Amino acid sequence: MLLLLAACSRPDPASEQARLEREFEQTMTGATLAGKFSLGSRVAEDRYTISKASKLRGDLWIIQTRIQYGKRDVTVPVPVAVKWAGDTPVIMLTDAGIPGLGTYTARVVIYRGQYAGTWSAKDHGGQMWGTVTRASGGRQQSTSARFLAVVEKIAGKVGFYDASGVRVAEAKVGTHPHEIVLSPDRRYAYVSDNGILWMTEPGEGGNTISILDLETRQKAGVISLGNYRRPHGMDVDPGTGRIVSTIENPDGLLLIDPAQRKVIRKYDVQGEDPHMVLLDAKAEYAYVSNTATHTLAAVHLESGKVKLIPVDKRPQGATLSTDGRLLYLTCSDGNSIVIIDTEKKERIGSIATGKGPGRVVLAPDGKTLVYNLQPGEAAGFADIASRKETSTIPLGGRPLSLTMSPDGQYAYAGIQDQDKVIVISVAERKIVQTIATPPKSGPDPALPLP
């Protein structure tokens, strides 16, 4: 009986991990790490002021940090891995180049207001230790979106809006852009210049990806795709910064180096009308939704080998579970979200939804999926444990997209044919704001910018 009670009281591993990660984000965002570091027999002071810590996927995080030691004072986004020793986070940096400082390796433990660890550069290293304190009053900085970058598909622009919904800037991109993703350092955004308004329409399409500088909010350049046309869904490897992008003419998947602005490799996805793409937690596999042939292609990026997973009709967007072991895939004509085991690369279940789910995100609790219902003119919520749709919110128009703020408080749905972006409170499950875009702009995805 005692063993049974102990088993029943044991927390769900995924929920517990989600809780630990939320606590880590809250601990680090707005924190100052002040202490000392050793170099041989010498001990000196150093200081790290963290404006924001945010999880990318799997173990990968970005920590926006001001680093101060000696005469050095730089502010940089630092990509790190966060591993867990039970309930204790271990920040891991391995041979990582930090602009203005050099290449470093570190292992740092954070626990109960203190940090300690080791660090090394090319030919020297030592230990580091100190205290973790929060901003005055212990208040966390807001991680809600301060700005939105809205892809305006009809106008061929990206509009920038502040939190109150005021349009503050715009950047001209290619004809009929479709999707937008961030670079790992949050400095740039990449926009797929598809060239065709609807993916179901025929046409040669465009062959570029526009690069936007988010500091100037202007176009910084383009990546030419050559003979590969109609780029659509994209994802970014947070470790290398490389882009994966689907293409619809010819059908396939591209691996792109934005630093060199060139295509590195083209993959056969063994299906028709590849639409969206999602990297797994380790960026080893790219999952591509073959919309016309109703399959999900698991593409191994190193070998190019593909495993096709049969799914429901017209697969679209996807998201990963907190631990990366499950993938949730919307199928718009199947009115469903298909559940994929990412280790076995197999379908293990599904969730029935309202009409036409297209994009899906995971709520901060790690237990709830939030998604758009395009023909259903609504946003939907589904409980992962019970595999049931629990509620919908009427939006009064057809949402083509759905994204989420960095803190998970808000979801954003672009209503293309009404020129507006609807802001939804995830916790309250209600509309809290409507942002008007210019007439005939045709907003699709809204990318939250912290």
For the chain, give the mean pLDDT.
Answer: 90
Cis peptide before 13 (omega within 30 of 0): no
Cβ neighbours around 192 below 10 Å, total: 28
DSSP 32-59: EEEEEEEETTEEEEEEEEEEEEEEEETT
3-state secondary structure of 205: coil
pTM (2 decimals)?
0.72
Q: Could you read off the pLDDT of 89-98 as tens digits, one per residue?
A: 999 999 887 7
How many angstroms separate the most distant Cα atoms in the chain? 69
Q: Could you read off the pLDDT of 114-163 as tens digits, one per residue?
A: 899 999 988 889 999 988 876 543 333 333 567 899 999 999 999 999 88
Whole-number pLDDT of residue 152:
98
Whole-number pLDDT of residue 40:
83
Q: How far is CA 10 from the centre of its chain?
A: 30
Q: Could you read off the pLDDT of 254-281 as tens digits, one per residue?
A: 999 999 999 999 999 999 999 999 999 8
| Angle at alpha carbon of residue 202, lines to 201 and 204, rounded to 5° | 125
Given the structure tokens 């029935």, which residue do they identify? 352
Q: Could you read off the pLDDT of 22-65 as tens digits, one per residue?
A: 889 888 888 888 888 898 888 888 888 888 888 888 899 988 88
Whether the predicted pLDDT of 7 surpasses 60: no
DSSP 270-297: SSSSEEEEEE-TTSSEEEEEETTTTEEE
Burial (Cβ within 10 Å: 0-12, 13-18, ≥19) of residue 386 = exposed
In the chain, where the domains are located: 8-134, 147-449
DSSP state of 144: S
Do 149 and 180 form a contact (C-beta atoms < 8 A)? yes
Do 151 and 180 form a contact (C-beta atoms < 8 A)? yes
DSSP state of 73: E
For 6-36, give one letter per residue: b (16+ CB within 10 A) or e.
eeeeeeeebeebbbbbbebbebbbbbbbbbe
Whole-number pLDDT of residue 56:
85
| 1.10.357.10, 3.90.180.10, 3.20.20.70, 2.40.128.120: CATH of 8-134 | 2.40.128.120
Share of the chain above pLDDT 70, in %: 93
Cα distances from 178 to residues 45, 221, 351, 438, in angstroms, run 48, 17, 27, 17
3-state secondary structure of 151: strand
β-sheet with 315-320: strand ranges across: 315-320, 326-331, 336-341, 346-352
C-alpha to C-alpha distance for 387 and 218, rounded to whole angstroms:
43
CATH number for the segment(s) 147-449: 2.130.10.10
C-alpha to C-alpha distance for 392 and 378, rounded to whole angstroms:
6
Run of H or E including 177: strand 177-182
Whether the predicted pLDDT of 170 surpasses 80: yes
Whether the predicted pLDDT of 5 surpasses 80: no
C-alpha to C-alpha distance for 25 and 418, rounded to whole angstroms:
36
Number of residues that make up the chain: 450
Whole-number pLDDT of residue 41:
83
Share of the chain above pLDDT 90, in %: 66
Q: Could you read off the pLDDT of 334-360 as tens digits, one per residue?
A: 999 999 999 999 999 999 999 999 999
